[in-house]
Amino acid sequence: MGSSCGRVCWKWRSPLRRLAGFSRLLSTAALAPQICVVGSGPAGFYTTQHLLKHHRLARVDIYEKLPVPFGLVRFGVAPDHPEVKSYGAEDNRILGIPGENLSGVYSARAFVGWYNGLPENRDLKPDLSSETAVVLGQGNVALDVARVLLSPLDILRKTDITEGSLAAIACSKVKRVWLVGRRGPLQVAFTIKELREMINLPGTRPLLAPADFTGLGDVIKDVPRPRKRLTELMVKSALEKPGEKEAGRWASATKEWGLKFRRSPLEVLSAADGKQARGIRIAVTRLEGSGESARAVPTGEVEELECGLILSSIGYRSLPLDSAIPFDPKLGIIPNSLGRVQGEPGLYCSGWVKRGPTGVIITTMNDSFDTAQSVLEDLQTGVLHLSSSKEGFKSVRSILHSRGVHPVTFSDWEKIDAAEVARGKLAGKPREKIVDPQEMLQLISH
């Protein structure tokens, strides 16, 4: 039990690795089940909320590996979008191409963790000395990363971005960001809100090639409304003459971003020293099929993009919790039925480890309610054999104490929270996140 911090967070702290809302029943009596939820992100909290709301005798303890709660709500996608932060898996998909380990190449997950104050990424030190950055991927995370790279400092200063990240971005030479996708405009994964904000970002102009959007007006007539509205916005920005105000803003812009479609990464190119990325070689693709099922097939044509910063935003995946717990490495999920872990009575899962890395917080909320409902149904029907010999947190606490691990309580977190808010107030920000777990622990030890 325990981890690098040596503490457990408010009766929290994951005994192994934090997954998005992993729960096991540790019971004391048939009418008063004790439930353990591992992971204090949205999946864990929403599961807990539903259990407590619908079972008045239930006792739920939430365990978290860090001294601070809330998972992706705290460490999610963009500091200027606290309401839509949207990742919760612990690992990222690799590109699987030569050169991806060169300096200047980072996963979007690590980059996001860096500017959001995730302790494990606090020492990332991304190289922002290149004028051009390439983001591999065309989802909301990709757009958020591009927006943070290009946003005016006055906007970022009002968010809870970390002090170190803000200082690094203030010295950034990046003035152009390409978002590269294997497929076409009809398959982008970002949403209209994020696209509109990117188009209207002060000091920047969009680079959308008219040829990519010509003729799409007829194609989108029968697609679902969200996809239709999103595509119409791209078509308008690419093909229609901008209004006077917009044209003036774009003409004076010092930074720019663009979408490159039907391009698939082949190799990260190294500089003369063999250590630093200088560009990326990409295959030009064509689409076979249509809609969401369209596949990108290489045409044989190859292009190169000069860039010193490459961010991979091609998706996230969960990691296995323990060898004793089923895990599907291909899908990155724990095999389950409505949250019930296959072959493990009393064990449940929620969040991305349950369904895979898709959706945002509202998706996770509904998914977590479904898992909690499965727990409640199993309690009601007697599927779960509860025993008074299992002591719940009392038993866990004795194990922790025997190992010299001292839990961080919710009251302890409130001290950390107050310190962060106070530091933020001095800087005119919502909070100044503490990124060093040892510093957090020192705060609560006084």
CA–CA distance, 434 with 423 (Å, rounded to integer): 9
Q: Is residue 438 part of a domain?
A: no
Is residue 89 predicted with pLDDT exceeding 80?
A: no
Percent of the chain with pLDDT over 90: 65
Q: Is residue 423 part of a domain?
A: no
Same domain, 139 and 287: yes
CA 219-225-228 angle, to 5 degrees, is 35
The count of C-alpha atoms lying within 13 angstroms of the C-alpha of 63, restricted to the half-sphere facing its C-beta, is 25
The pLDDT assigned to 80 comes to 65
Is residue 174 predicted with pLDDT exceeding 50?
A: yes
* Mean pLDDT value of segment 65-82: 76
Least confident of 8-17, 224-233, 269-278, 377-386: 8-17
Same domain, 116 and 45: no
Same domain, 285 and 168: yes
Q: Is residue 379 part of a domain?
A: yes
The pLDDT assigned to 179 comes to 98
Same domain, 230 and 291: yes
Q: Which of 375, 369, 365, 339 is nearest to 354 (CA)?
A: 339
Q: How confident is residue 19, by pLDDT bands cut at 50, 70 and 90?
A: very low
Same domain, 111 and 44: no
CA–CA distance, 12 with 22 (Å, rounded to integer): 12
Domain boundary among 284, 314, 344: 314
Q: Can you give the residue range of the structural domain that contains 310? A: 94-314
Quick: pLDDT tens for 94-143.
778 999 999 999 999 899 999 999 999 999 999 999 999 999 999 998 99
How high is the mean pLDDT of the chain?
86
CA–CA distance, 444 with 446 (Å, rounded to integer): 6
Q: How confident is residue 145, by pLDDT bands cut at 50, 70 and 90?
A: very high
Q: How confident is residue 269, by pLDDT bands cut at 50, 70 and 90?
A: very high
* Inter-CA distances, 443 with 11, 60, 123, 412, 420, Å: 18, 27, 21, 9, 11
Same domain, 280 and 142: yes
CA–CA distance, 46 with 442 (Å, rounded to integer): 30
The CATH number given to whatever domain includes residue 394 is 3.40.50.720
CA–CA distance, 1 with 437 (Å, rounded to integer): 17
Percent of the chain with pLDDT over 70: 88
Is residue 360 predicted with pLDDT exceeding 90?
A: no
Q: How confident is residue 386, by pLDDT bands cut at 50, 70 and 90?
A: confident
Q: Which of 155, 168, 172, 130 is nearest to 79 (CA)?
A: 155
Same domain, 49 and 143: no
The 3-class secondary structure across 381-404, one letter per residue, is HCCCCCCCCCCCHHHHHHHHHHCC
Q: Is residue 238 part of a domain?
A: yes
Is residue 92 predicted with pLDDT exceeding 70?
A: no
Residues 238, 212 contacting (CB under 8 angstroms): yes
The pLDDT assigned to 4 comes to 31
Quick: pLDDT tens for 181-203.
999 999 999 999 999 999 999 99
User: 352: part of which helix (H) or strand (E)?
Assistant: helix 352-355
Q: How confident is residue 391, by pLDDT bands cut at 50, 70 and 90?
A: confident
The pLDDT assigned to 45 comes to 93
Higher-scoring residue by pLDDT: 17, 411:
411
Q: Is residue 416 part of a domain?
A: no
* Mean pLDDT value of segment 194-216: 95
Domain boundary among 314, 332, 362: 314
Higher-scoring residue by pLDDT: 238, 291:
238
Q: Is residue 292 part of a domain?
A: yes
User: 37: part of which helix (H) or strand (E)?
Assistant: strand 34-38
Is residue 10 predicted with pLDDT exceeding 60?
A: no
Is residue 87 predicted with pLDDT exceeding 70?
A: no
Is residue 210 predicted with pLDDT exceeding 60?
A: yes
Same domain, 154 and 61: no
Task: Read off φ and ψ for residue 280, nearest 5 degrees.
Answer: -140, 135
* Mean pLDDT value of segment 14-36: 55
Is residue 273 predicted with pLDDT exceeding 50?
A: yes
Domain boundary among 260, 280, 314: 314
Same domain, 277 and 342: no
Higher-scoring residue by pLDDT: 79, 64:
64
Q: Is residue 400 part of a domain?
A: yes
Same domain, 234 and 366: no
Reported pTM:
0.81
The CATH number given to whatever domain includes residue 303 is 3.50.50.60
Higher-scoring residue by pLDDT: 321, 246:
246
Q: How many structural domains compose the chain?
A: 2
Q: Is residue 432 part of a domain?
A: no
Same domain, 63 and 127: no
Same domain, 345 and 261: no
Is residue 317 predicted with pLDDT exceeding 80?
A: no
